Amino acid sequence: MFPIERTLGIAERRLSFFHTHTLERLDVVYVRDGQYVEPALIEINEFLGDFRTGELITIDPALLDTIPLPVATNGFGQIRRYTIGSTT
């Protein structure tokens, strides 16, 4: 586990993903009690890897921290879809 600062007093952070090519889903708590959960980060890296070649990638956890901020700050609820390059 890696130490991080608590953001907005949130002790647990969860992300949900849906892979449009493989139809797989991942719902994971990647921060608990202000600490990154290493097994969850590994799952995220595997999920976001290249599904064609099996090549794994390493996502910077700080990037993951930016995804849920709109949910934490605007009260609209869960982000249902996050699409890279979307113009809508």
Q: Which pLDDT does position 45 carry in this prediction?
A: 94
Q: Which pLDDT does position 6 carry in this prediction?
A: 46
Number of domains in the chain: 1
Does residue 27 belong to any structural domain of this protein? Answer: yes
Does residue 54 belong to any structural domain of this protein? Answer: yes
Does residue 15 belong to any structural domain of this protein? Answer: yes
Q: Which pLDDT does position 67 carry in this prediction?
A: 78
Does residue 61 belong to any structural domain of this protein? Answer: yes
Find the domain containing 30 and state its range: 2-73
Does residue 18 belong to any structural domain of this protein? Answer: yes
Q: Which pLDDT does position 40 carry in this prediction?
A: 96
CB-based burial of residue 49 (10 Å sphere; 0-12 exposed, 13-18 middle, 19+ buried)? middle
Does residue 83 belong to any structural domain of this protein? Answer: no
Does residue 44 belong to any structural domain of this protein? Answer: yes
The structure's pTM equals: 0.67
Does residue 16 belong to any structural domain of this protein? Answer: yes
Secondary element (H or E) of residue 74: helix 69-74
The per-residue pLDDT string of the chain (88 residues; one tens digit each, 9 = 90 and over) reads: 344 444 445 678 888 888 888 899 999 999 998 899 999 999 999 999 998 998 988 999 989 888 765 544 444 444 444 444 444 4
